[in-house]
């Protein structure tokens, strides 16, 4: 029988109701994905006794579903960037991170990460993660080889290119095929194990324990059907993922994400965020999420143009696929097409996940417009304006870079059907608890909640704006700021 | 000296630290705008001893800055709707409220309000608020006369008109000129006084008082430089407005609203919302706000078309000015124009607040396009497509209603400059604490926080989506759901 029947994820358990601690540690970590592993490693290295609880039967979390790509650079470039000819300045990385953070970017986190990104690369290698010294110049989502460096954001596209010198910054681990995230997690989990962190699997978080002043003292978990109390002498670190799998929370907070039918998540039920809120933690950007249909490769399609159901263009198509996809979600209606001509089609090279089908085809753009049942001249005018300027190497409306400009004038013409309910349109959430760069969870007045930390998608981190997300940012944030939280909690 | 130095808006004060209650009541209400007044009236009528605290030196809050317009109908129509020839069905009001609530509309609140809106009209009259039996058919923002019924939303526009039979529902009080909100507040404040509610002005809320289980027991206020404790035996009702005047919170949560330079608020510093969060209350739609440039009257301008800096249309211009303005905010860049021809200009009738200036003029649309330095054919194509269909009484792209369609073909032509930093562009926030229709504040798991209620813009109510706001919805929500909270708290 529970002495605290009212406790829940959303109502903390009073310290006075705890009669026995079943676990005692300096630092309690919830969640064994990349952020939890990184936090546990650094806390243990700082001398703390660490106890880690994970709801699943093994390590990995949603990090293990990813490609394992990590966004890094600055400081003159990682060795792999430099070998590929990119001297990536810290200020360029910083400016890019602030721009892609959107209108409420976290400049303090961007600063800390930009200054220490190269050291973070070295740290990852020290954990046993290997990187091949190689670079892929072509547009790609995730290498099918064990190659490393890719362009994984909108660095070369307007408006980013105007403010920050571009460089490729997506570092994929030396792992053949998809599934690099699993490889990264195995290396991190190996360190967690070697450091003697006490790991309890199949442990579901029920509630935080806090005293009447709101200081966090521990965590209540269910293990083997029993309610158990874990004392955290210095701090609890919430690394329990986002909330994309909790469809009620998505509907309430990020309804735009409901338009994307393929959530990327394992647990990601919002439990970490809710635990933080139960002791007054503030949330930020709960409406924001990453979502994408991976519409390239082939890179030739970047020379095509997207139109909405008004026949209008809406973005420079040389942006990262996720940025373009986020604009797709925001258009009126559900019908979106990617227009290509004979020279730009090349769909045989399309990523197997994408499988975007042809919605209409014809020998003239008038034919395509008619087949799509669009208002007369709507699509045709958009193509005419685009072609007129593209022939001169210009795109005054959306500023696609010159190398992607080519009149779409070689029949046959096609309109690829990018309807959100027809394509693979994946998503995860970017909103979460407000934290300092140290991982300390903040209340709405931006004072730390004593004894509480968060990292990964439980926090609102560097990646916090759907329009700005770049591949590798979530794992970069999870590992780097997981480490900060572990270090700070160990010495709190 | 305070026994609880750590207490703040964001950290509740533990009950055990309270040594003396300076005030004792059944129900404590924070804020003396429309929601606080309505809550206090109903709580007192239900037999509760009520104590109301207001930070300003008098009643009114932001409600008193408004036009006093209240959105009501359904139930066959109010007497004023019926006299004007509108039999407004409850289901039509309900459907409209759900549609304008956006993707996470609160159907339970819409249901309760639609079913009881006519009774609410009678209640307002019973408090002494008078309404003239008159109707204004023309487009207007707020009558300069004492007339009552106006079209105050997007009822007749696509997509709303397809789902719910339209009716005018904005009821303005019998008060000549702007300032009807002050009149409404004086009537409500008179009732508060007559019912013997204890009112303390110049009282700033500092913190909620809660026990270790999270139940709310009272409020800490600063009065005359002293920290004082107010006990609420049954409940605290937070009616302290939104957060539009707290620019840090706006930047953090609703950065789009920063583009609107004229916040509508008195206190509205987010203190009510923060108090709720300090005891685990969840927030909803913190990124959402109302914002508008009142671009009509004259109604003739509704026959014009808006274009963004790509020369593209983006909405059916017959929507409510706030919906159109919200789309303006969302366009790329800052340049927006309203195009009109000789027959539709009529700016002499423009609302004095609006003062939208001419950005370009010419005898051909090519001249205007050139003067605005837009890409060749961008504006011209948009006008040509619009004119082509308007001549046939159609608008297949955006579905503006037939009565507003007329080719823009009588020179001279003008582009009115609607840049956000040039026009009067007002705003207030729509995000706030999640509540039940009874006013009970909910945590993220949608369980009530014991002893805590909220109403008005401190809560996320019926109006919760910038694209859907209609004039009169905020006061409708504040008064009606303030009443529900008062009643429920009195009997809690």
Which three-class secondary structure state does DSSP give residue B141?
coil
Using CA atoms in the order A248, B117, B465, B91, what is the torsion angle rounded to 10 degrees?
Answer: 70
Report how far residue B468's alpha carbon sits from residue A109's, in angstroms, rounded to the nearest whole number: 35
Whether residue A12 and residue B280 make contact (CB cut-off 8 A), yes or no, is yes
Could you say which of A211, A280, A398 has the minimum Cβ distance to residue B277? A280
Could you say which of A10, A376, A385 has the minimum Cβ distance to residue B280? A10
Which three-class secondary structure state does DSSP give residue B222?
strand
Task: Say what the pLDDT of residue B164 is.
Answer: 98
Mean pLDDT score across all residues of chain B: 95
Chain B residue with Cα closest to A312? B312
Task: Say what the pLDDT of residue A221 is.
Answer: 98
Chain B residue with Cα closest to A431? B253
- Partnered with residue A25 across adjacent β-strands are A232
Whether residue B444 and residue A214 make contact (CB cut-off 8 A), yes or no, is no
Whether residue A9 and residue B445 make contact (CB cut-off 8 A), yes or no, is yes
Q: Nearest C-alpha of chain B: how many angstroms from A61?
A: 23
CA distances from A198 to A40, A272, A489, B366, B408 (A): 10, 20, 16, 73, 74
- Of A449, A460, A455, give the one whose Cα is nearest residue A480: A455
| Number of neighbouring beta carbons within 10 Å of residue B234 | 20
Task: Say what the pLDDT of residue A370 is.
Answer: 98
CA B420 to centroid of chain Cα atoms? 20
Which chain A residues contact residue B254 at CB under 8 A? none
Chain A residue with Cα closest to B282? A277
Whether residue B445 and residue A10 make contact (CB cut-off 8 A), yes or no, is yes
Whether the CA torsion B80, B85, B89, B93 is positive or negative: it is negative
Task: Say what the pLDDT of residue A351 is.
Answer: 60
Whether residue B397 and residue A378 make contact (CB cut-off 8 A), yes or no, is yes
Asked whether the predicted pLDDT for residue B420 surpasses 80, the reply is no
Task: Say what the pLDDT of residue B348 is.
Answer: 64
Whether residue B286 and residue A286 make contact (CB cut-off 8 A), yes or no, is yes
Whether residue B376 and residue A398 make contact (CB cut-off 8 A), yes or no, is no
Chain A residue with Cα closest to B331? A314
Which chain B residues contact residue A14 at CB under 8 A? 212-213
With a cut of 50, list the residues of chain A below it in pLDDT: 1-3
Q: Nearest C-alpha of chain B: how many angstroms from A481?
A: 20
pLDDT digits (tens, 9 = 90+) for B53-111: 999 999 999 999 999 999 999 999 999 999 999 999 999 999 999 999 999 999 999 99
Which chain B residues contact residue A286 at CB under 8 A? 286
Whether residue B385 and residue A396 make contact (CB cut-off 8 A), yes or no, is no
Q: Nearest C-alpha of chain B: how many angstroms from A473?
A: 21
Q: Nearest C-alpha of chain B: how many angstroms from A10?
A: 6
Burial class (CB in 10 A: 0-12, 13-18, 19+), A376: middle
Q: Nearest C-alpha of chain B: how many angstroms from A309?
A: 8
Report how far residue B156's alpha carbon sits from residue B113's, in angstroms, rounded to the nearest whole number: 21
Q: State how beta strands A426-429 and A262-263 pair.
A: parallel
Which chain A residues contact residue B311 at CB under 8 A? 397
Q: How many CB pairs under 8 A join A and B?
A: 148
pLDDT digits (tens, 9 = 90+) for B148-185: 999 999 999 999 999 999 999 999 999 998 889 999 99
Whether residue B103 and residue A283 make contact (CB cut-off 8 A), yes or no, is no
CA angle A384, A385, A388 (to 5 degrees): 80
CA B313 to centroid of chain Cα atoms? 26
- Of A408, A416, A461, give the one whose Cα is nearest residue A434: A461
Chain B residue with Cα closest to A215? B11
Judge whether A259 and A47 are in contact, CB under 8 Å.
no
Model confidence, pTM = 0.96
Which helix or strand (DSSP H or E) is residue B396 part of?
none
Which helix or strand (DSSP H or E) is residue B415 part of?
strand B413-417
| Number of neighbouring beta carbons within 10 Å of residue A103 | 15
Task: Say what the pLDDT of residue A2 is.
Answer: 42
Which chain B residues contact residue A284 at CB under 8 A? 252-253
Report how far residue A66's alpha carbon sits from residue A85's, in angstroms, rounded to the nearest whole number: 27
Report how far residue B479's alpha carbon sits from residue B468's, in angstroms, rounded to the nearest whole number: 19
Q: Nearest C-alpha of chain A: how many angstroms from B2?
A: 14
Whether residue B10 and residue A447 make contact (CB cut-off 8 A), yes or no, is yes
Burial class (CB in 10 A: 0-12, 13-18, 19+), B42: buried
Task: Say what the pLDDT of residue B77 is.
Answer: 98
Whether residue B377 and residue A384 make contact (CB cut-off 8 A), yes or no, is yes
3-class SS letters over chain A: CCCCCCCECCECEEHHHCCCCCEEEEEEEECCCHHHHHHHHHHHHCCCCEEEECCCCCCCHHHHHCCCCEECCCCCCCHHHHHCCCCCCHHHHHHHHHHHCHHHCCHHHHHHHHHHHHHHHHHHHHCCCCCCCCECCCCCCCCCCCCCEECCCCCCCCCHHHHCCCCCCEECCCCCCCCHHHHHHHHHHHHHHHCCCEEECCEEEEEEEECCCCCEEEEEEEECCEEEEEEEEEEEEECCCCCCCCHHHHHHHCHHHHHCCEECCCCCCCHHHHHHHHCCCCEECCCCEEEECCCCCCHHHHHCEEECCCCCCCCCCCCCHHHHHHHHHHCCCCCCEEEECCCCCCHHHCCCCCCCEEEEEECCHHHHHHHCCCCCCHHHHHHHHHHHHHCCCCCCCCCCCHHHCCCCCCCCEEEEECCCCCCCCEEEECCEECECCCCEEECCCCCEEEEEEECHHHECCCCCCCCCCCCCHHHHHHHHHHHHHHHHHHCC
Local confidence band at B350 (pLDDT 50, 70, 90 cut-offs): low
Whether residue B211 and residue A213 make contact (CB cut-off 8 A), yes or no, is no
Whether residue B251 and residue A103 make contact (CB cut-off 8 A), yes or no, is yes
Report how far residue A26's alpha carbon sits from residue A236's, in angstroms, rounded to the nearest whole number: 9
Whether residue B381 and residue A376 make contact (CB cut-off 8 A), yes or no, is no
> In the numeric block, which tokens belong to residue A404?
């992607």
Report how far residue B158's alpha carbon sits from residue B470's, in angstroms, rounded to the nearest whole number: 14
Judge whether B378 and B369 are in contact, CB under 8 Å.
yes
Contacts of A64 (CB under 8 A, 6+ apart): A33, A181, A182, A184, A185, A266
- Partnered with residue A337 across adjacent β-strands are A307, A417
Is the bond preceding residue B424 a cis peptide, omega within 30 degrees? Answer: no
DSSP assignment, residue B373?
T
Q: Nearest C-alpha of chain A: how many angstroms from B253?
A: 6
Phi–psi pair at A70, nearest 5 degrees: -130, 130
- ipTM over 0.90? The verdict is yes
Report how far residue B114's alpha carbon sits from residue A211's, in angstroms, rounded to the nearest whole number: 44
Could you say which of A11, A283, A330 has the minimum Cβ distance to residue B280? A11
Phi–psi pair at A198, nearest 5 degrees: -80, 115
Task: Say what the pLDDT of residue B400 is.
Answer: 98
Whether residue B15 and residue A384 make contact (CB cut-off 8 A), yes or no, is no
Q: Nearest C-alpha of chain B: how many angstroms from A482?
A: 23
Question: A14, A444, A464, A467: best mutation site toward chain B, by most B Cβ within 10 Å?
Answer: A444
Whether residue B381 and residue A377 make contact (CB cut-off 8 A), yes or no, is yes
Chain B residue with Cα closest to A279? B280
DSSP assignment, residue B349?
G
Could you say which of A10, A310, A330 has the minimum Cβ distance to residue B444? A10
Which chain B residues contact residue A279 at CB under 8 A? 280
Judge whether A317 and A324 are in contact, CB under 8 Å.
yes
Quickly tell me which residue has 């510093």 as its tokens. B269
Q: Phi-psi bin for A165: left (phi > 0), alpha (psi -120 to 50), beta?
A: beta
Tell me what the mean pLDDT of segment B436-453 comes to.
97
Contacts of A415 (CB under 8 A, 6+ apart): A307, A337, A338, A339, A358, A359, A360, A361, A368, A371, A372
Q: Nearest C-alpha of chain B: how many angstroms from A256?
A: 8
Which three-class secondary structure state does DSSP give residue B58?
coil
Which three-class secondary structure state does DSSP give residue B160?
helix
Burial class (CB in 10 A: 0-12, 13-18, 19+), B18: middle
pLDDT digits (tens, 9 = 90+) for A245-265: 999 999 999 999 998 889 999
Whether residue A280 and residue B278 make contact (CB cut-off 8 A), yes or no, is yes
Tell me what the mean pLDDT of segment B219-226 comes to.
96
Report how far residue B167's alpha carbon sits from residue B97's, in angstroms, rounded to the nearest whole number: 13
Task: Say what the pLDDT of residue A333 is.
Answer: 83
Task: Say what the pLDDT of residue B471 is.
Answer: 96
Which chain A residues contact residue B282 at CB under 8 A? 10, 277
Report how far residue B270's alpha carbon sits from residue B251's, in angstroms, rounded to the nearest whole number: 13
Whether residue B103 and residue A375 make contact (CB cut-off 8 A), yes or no, is no
Whether residue A253 and residue B397 make contact (CB cut-off 8 A), yes or no, is no
Report how far residue A383's alpha carbon sits from residue A73's, in angstroms, rounded to the nearest whole number: 38
pLDDT digits (tens, 9 = 90+) for B13-61: 999 999 999 999 999 999 999 999 999 999 999 999 999 999 999 999 9
Report how far residue B89's alpha carbon sits from residue B97's, in angstroms, rounded to the nearest whole number: 13
Report how far residue B28's alpha carbon sits from residue B50's, in angstroms, rounded to the nearest whole number: 6
Whether the CA torsion A325, A329, A334, A335 is positive or negative: it is negative
> In the numeric block, which tokens belong to residue B337?
């124009």
CA distances from A380 to A8, A332, A376 (A): 58, 19, 8
Whether residue A284 and residue B376 make contact (CB cut-off 8 A), yes or no, is no
Could you say which of A11, A17, A444 has the minimum Cβ distance to residue B443? A11
């Amino acid at each position: 029988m529970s002495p605290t029947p009212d406790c829940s994820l959303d109502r903390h358990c009073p310290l006075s109701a705890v009669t026995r601690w079943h676990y005692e540690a300096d630092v309690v970590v919830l969640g064994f994905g990349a952020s939890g592993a990184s936090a546990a490693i650094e806390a243990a290295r700082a001398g703390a006794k660490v106890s880690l609880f994970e709801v699943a039967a093994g390590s990995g979390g949603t990090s293990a579903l990813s490609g394992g790509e990590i966004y890094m650079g600055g400081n003159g470039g990682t060795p792999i960037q430099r070998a590929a000819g990119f001297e990536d300045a810290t200020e360029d990385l910083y400016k890019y991170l602030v721009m892609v953070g959107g209108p409420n970017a976290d400049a303090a986190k961007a600063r800390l990460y930009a200054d220490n990104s190269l050291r973070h690369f070295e740290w990852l290698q020290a954990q046993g993660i290997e990187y091949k010294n190689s670079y892929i110049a072509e547009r790609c989502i995730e290498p099918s080889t064990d190659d490393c460096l890719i362009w994984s954001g909108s660095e070369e596209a307007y408006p980013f290119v105007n403010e920050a010198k571009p460089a490729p910054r997506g570092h994929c681990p030396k792992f053949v095929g998809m599934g690099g995230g699993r490889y990264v997690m195995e290396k991190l989990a190996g360190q967690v194990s070697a450091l003697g962190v006490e790991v309890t699997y199949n442990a579901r978080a029920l509630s935080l324990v806090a005293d009447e002043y709101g200081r966090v003292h521990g965590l209540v978990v269910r293990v083997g059907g029993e309610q158990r109390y874990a004392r955290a002498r210095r701090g609890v670190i919430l690394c329990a993922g986002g909330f994309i799998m909790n469809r009620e929370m998505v509907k309430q907070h990020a309804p735009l994400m409901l338009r994307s039918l393929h959530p990327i998540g394992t647990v990601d039920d919002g439990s970490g965020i809710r635990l933080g809120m139960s002791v007054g933690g503030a949330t930020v950007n709960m409406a924001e999420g990453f979502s994408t249909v991976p519409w390239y490769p082939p890179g030739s399609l970047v020379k095509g143009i997207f139109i909405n159901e008004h026949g209008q263009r809406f973005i420079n198509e040389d942006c990262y696929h996720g940025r373009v996809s986020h604009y797709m979600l925001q258009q009126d209606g559900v019908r979106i097409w990617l227009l290509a001509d004979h020279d730009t089609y090349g769909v045989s090279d399309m990523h197997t996940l994408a499988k975007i089908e042809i919605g209409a085809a014809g020998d003239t753009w008038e034919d395509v417009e008619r087949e799509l049942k669009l208002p007369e001249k709507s699509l045709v005018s958009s193509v005419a304006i685009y072609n007129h300027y593209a022939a001169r190497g210009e795109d005054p409306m959306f500023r696609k870079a010159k190398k992607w400009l080519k009149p779409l004038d070689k029949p046959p013409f096609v309109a690829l059907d990018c309807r959100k309910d027809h394509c693979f349109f994946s998503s995860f959430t970017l909103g979460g608890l407000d934290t300092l760069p140290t991982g300390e969870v903040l209340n709405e007045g931006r004072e730390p909640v004593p004894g509480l930390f968060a990292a990964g998608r439980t926090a609102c981190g560097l990646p916090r704006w759907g329009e700005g997300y770049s591949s590798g940012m979530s794992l970069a944030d999870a590992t780097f700021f997981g480490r900060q939280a572990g270090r700070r909690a160990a010495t709190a």
